[in-house]
Structure 1
């Protein structure tokens, strides 16, 4: 196998790994988008009742 072929194979491997990472990250972000409201609600329920009665609650904001 030539050095050029080995280099091309290496870059193909890196490209595949990059695509896999991007897909995993997208799936994780999609899961987070669905999970965050429920997590905020669960955290809100840990607040003392008088704080919840006053309207204090947890919310998630987008990262900047």
Structure 2
């Protein structure tokens, strides 16, 4: 969520955008002090809140 090739905590591997957005909302709703992703450095929940609107602008392309 915070290492190349992600931008604004948005990774490039998402199967279903709606599920991806919902997972962010679940994390935000749990109100964690710090988020420890599987890869990269820890970050604050405010980073997700600040960038969740960017998910609405994404377009996923199907794998061939």
Same fold, judged at TM 0.5 (above): no
Higher Cα Rg, which structure: 1
Q: With structure 2 as the length reference, what TM-score do the two structures score?
A: 0.28
Q: With structure 1 as the length reference, what TM-score do the two structures score?
A: 0.28
1 or 2, which has the higher helix percentage?
A: 1
